[in-house]
Amino acid sequence: MNPVARGALALALPLVLLSACGSDPTPLPQHPTVPAPPVTTAPAPAVTGAAVDKVMVIVLENHSAGQIKSGAPRLTALATQYGTAPKALAPCGHPSQPNYVCLSTGGKYLSTNDVTTLKRPDVWNNTLSAGRTMKVYADNLPSAVEDRRQNVGAYAPRHVFTVPFVATAAKAANFAQYTVDARSLAADVAAGDLPNVGALIPDNCHNAHDRCDAEGSTQIKQADDWIADQVALLQDGPDWASGHLLIVVTADEDNLLGANDIPMVVIHPSLSHVSTDVPVTLYSLGGLLADVGHTPRLGKQRTEPDFAGAFGLPTPARAG
């Protein structure tokens, strides 16, 4: 039976308590970041039914579904317009970084927010080894590579997928080359040069983790506006117009008040008012990245519910 349930949206968008990520209550200063494009209606895709060949994952932090639903109207509108998974879960507990590692590796190989080095296969380096493209766009990424594994202003390396995977010289070189400042996103969008496997990581002023007084508003409002603006930017390029780009907005964990249920906003031209009852997880999302990266799924990516199938998305044939 097709698991996609169409109809009225049952939106559940959970994220996590600030304490779960080791939040510092001191407001952070404003930092230069990705220029916010004007919000426009996304153009209709030139190609319908095209296989998803590029995925951009955007990750929020530390708020519950109710908080996001009441405080993030633009993300809620995107979930309603395109797709959502109300039963989505973060499978690796708390705090934040273990869930980033779970998505990347298919296993829980970390239990703290320590910025460490893991000798595990990961979907990011595997994608490059398969001859596909990968890039992680980090908001306010430090310019010096040696600074990218430590906290600098609102930049938090524990939220950057590629940070733990530098155990070999080749992986360290990949990290230096393919973890880039988010300000380069606009040029890649305009050129139709988005990677097959990509992530956009907001800093702590834009992921609902901290409130930055210089930017005003609330934590959730800041994140809602910044992320919705980046979605609009992504939808303004040829990768979206071709029907090949899928955008997923999710979270690393909930706010410790539930079962670690998380938001899962799924944005693709083929989706309209879709709400699936399939309990997809971050492992499921990692499996989708492996499929698009033409690499075998890792660990629990093989056994968790299929992400593309839950939404009826056309994707490349699964490798291995």
Q: Where does the pLDDT of residue 307 fall: very low under 50, low under 70, confident under 90, or very high at 90 and above?
A: very high
CB atoms within 10 A of CB 214: 10
Confidence of residue 124 (pLDDT cuts 50, 70, 90): very high
pLDDT at position 26 is 39
Question: Phi/psi of residue 7, each to 5°?
Answer: 135, -145
At 283, phi and psi to the nearest 5? -60, -40
- State which amino acid sits at residue 93: G
CA distance 311 to 315: 11
What would the pLDDT profile of 271-291 be if each residue is shown by its tens digit?
Answer: 999 999 999 999 999 999 999
Tokens of residue 224, six digits: 């809602």
pLDDT category at 215 given cuts 50, 70, 90 is: low
- Spans of all domains in the chain: 4-20+57-311
What sign does the CA torsion over 140, 145, 151, 156 have? positive
pLDDT at position 47: 57
User: Domain 4-20+57-311 maps to which CATH number in 3.40.720.10, 3.30.70.120, 3.60.70.12, 3.40.50.620?
Assistant: 3.40.720.10
Q: How far apart are CA 197 and CA 128, in angstroms?
A: 9
Tokens of 295: 């690499």
Residue 244 has pLDDT above 60, yes or no: yes
DSSP state of 159: G
pLDDT value of residue 168: 97
pLDDT in tens, 26-79: 344 444 444 444 444 555 544 557 899 999 999 998 767 677 777 899 999 999
Question: Of 265, 220, 224, 260, which Cα lies nearest the Cα of 16?
Answer: 260
Report the distance separating Cα 105 and Cα 110, nearest Å. Answer: 11
Where does residue 142 rank: exposed (0-12), middle (13-18), buried (19+ CB within 10 A)? middle
Between vectors from CA 221 to CA 40 and to CA 27, what angle results, nearest 5°?
135
Which structure tokens are listed for 131? 């001859």
Nearest to 162 by CA among 203, 196, 200: 200
Examine residue 95 and say whether the peptide bond preceding it is cis (omega within 30 degrees of 0): yes
Judged against a pLDDT cut of 90, whether residue 165 lies above it is answered with: yes
Beta-bridged to residue 250, according to DSSP, are 59, 264
